[in-house]
Structure 1
Amino acid sequence: MNHLSLIIKREYLTKVRNKSFIIMTFLSPLIFVGIFALVAYLSSVNSDTVRTISVLDESGLFGDEFVSSPHTVYKMLHGVPLQEAKIKAEKDENYGLLYIPKTDDLESLSKKVTFYSEDSPSISVMQDINRLLETKVNVLKLREAGIDSQTIKDLHININANQETFQGRETSKMSSGLKLIFGGAAGYLLFMFIIIYGNMIMRSVIEEKTSRVIEVIISSVKPRVLLLGKILGTTLAGLTQFLIWVVLILVLMMAVNSMFGIDVSAASPSQQMVQQSLEGGSQEFIQDVMIEINNLPIANLIIMFILFFIGGYLLYASLYASVGAAVDSETDTQQFMMPIIMPLVLAVYVGLFTVIDNPHGTVSQVFSYIPFTSPVVMLMRIPFGVPLWQQLISVIILFLTFFGTVWFASKIYRVGILMYGKKPTYKELWKWLKY
Structure 2
Amino acid sequence: MKTLFLIIKREFIAKVRNKSFIVMTFLSPLLFVGIAVLVGYLSTMNKDKATEVAIHDEAGFLKNSFKSDKNIHYTDLSAMPFEVAKDTASNSYEGMLYIPKVDSLGQLKDKVEYISESSASMDFIGDVEDVVDSVLTSNNFKRLELDEVKIEAARETSTLKLSKFSGEESLKGLNEIKVFIGGLMGYMIMMFIIVYGNFVMRSVIEEKTNRIIEIIISSVKPFQLMMGKIIGNSFAGILQFAIWLVVGLLLMFIAQNVFGLQMGGTASVSPEMMEAAQQTAGMEKIQSYVTEIWNLPLGLMMFCFMLYFIGGYFLYSSLYAAIGAAVDSETDSQQFMLPIMLPLILGVYIGFFTVINDPHGTVATVFSIIPFTSPIVMLMRVPFLEPEHYWQLVVSVVTLFATFIGVVWFAAKIYKVGILMYGKKTTWKELYKWLKY
Alignment TM-score, normalising by the size of structure 1: 0.86
After TM superposition, the structure 1 = structure 2 runs for residues 27-426 of structure 1, keeping only pairs within 5 Å, are 27-57=27-57, 61-62=61-62, 65-76=65-76, 79-90=79-90, 93-100=92-99, 103-257=102-256, 262-266=261-265, 282-283=280-281, 287=286, 290=290, 293-294=293-294, 296-385=296-385, 387-426=389-428
Distance 2:276 2:102 in 1: 40
- Judge conservation of contact 2:327–2:426 (CA < 8 Å) in 1: yes
Partner secondary structure for residue 166 of structure 1: coil
Q: 1:49 to 1:203 in 2, by over 3 A?
A: same
Identity value in percent: 49
Q: 1:410 to 1:71 in 2, by over 3 A?
A: same
Unaligned runs of 5+ in 2: none
Distance 2:203 2:95 in 1: 59
Distance 1:260 1:56 in 2: 48
Partner secondary structure for residue 170 of structure 1: coil
CA-CA distance at 1:171 after TM superposition: 2.9
Distance 1:348 1:254 in 2: 31
**Cα root mean square deviation, aligned:** 3.3
Partner secondary structure for residue 234 of structure 1: helix
Distance 1:152 1:197 in 2: 63
Unaligned runs of 5+ in 1: none
- Judge conservation of contact 2:44–2:267 (CA < 8 Å) in 1: no
Counterpart amino acid of residue 370 in structure 1: I
Distance 1:223 1:74 in 2: 73
Counterpart amino acid of residue 2 in structure 1: K
Q: 1:94 to 1:433 in 2, by over 3 A?
A: closer
Distance 2:295 2:145 in 1: 50
| 382-391 vs 291-300, which moves further | 291-300
1:185-232 residue CA offsets vs partner (Å, 9 max, x unmatched) = 222222221111111001111222232333333333233222222111
Distance 1:95 1:335 in 2: 48
Distance 1:24 1:190 in 2: 19
Counterpart amino acid of residue 134 in structure 2: T
Q: 1:63 to 1:322 in 2, by over 3 A?
A: closer
- Judge conservation of contact 1:106–1:141 (CA < 8 Å) in 2: no
Distance 2:214 2:95 in 1: 73
1:78-108 residue CA offsets vs partner (Å, 9 max, x unmatched) = 75544454455456x2334434455432211
| 352-361 vs 250-259, which moves further | 250-259
Counterpart amino acid of residue 108 in structure 1: Q
Distance 2:429 2:86 in 1: 73
CA-CA distance at 1:233 after TM superposition: 0.6
Equivalent residue pairs, number = 431
Distance 1:295 1:76 in 2: 56
Distance 1:363 1:277 in 2: 43
CA-CA distance at 1:145 after TM superposition: 1.4
CA-CA distance at 1:415 after TM superposition: 2.9
Alignment TM-score, normalising by the size of structure 2: 0.86
- Judge conservation of contact 2:190–2:344 (CA < 8 Å) in 1: yes
Distance 1:268 1:44 in 2: 7
After TM superposition, the structure 1 = structure 2 runs for residues 5-44 of structure 1, keeping only pairs within 5 Å, are 5-44=5-44
- Judge conservation of contact 1:178–1:292 (CA < 8 Å) in 2: no
Q: 1:166 to 1:218 in 2, by over 3 A?
A: same
Q: 1:117 to 1:324 in 2, by over 3 A?
A: closer
- Judge conservation of contact 1:36–1:267 (CA < 8 Å) in 2: no
- Judge conservation of contact 1:39–1:267 (CA < 8 Å) in 2: no
Partner secondary structure for residue 369 of structure 2: coil
- Judge conservation of contact 2:106–2:136 (CA < 8 Å) in 1: no
Partner secondary structure for residue 171 of structure 1: coil
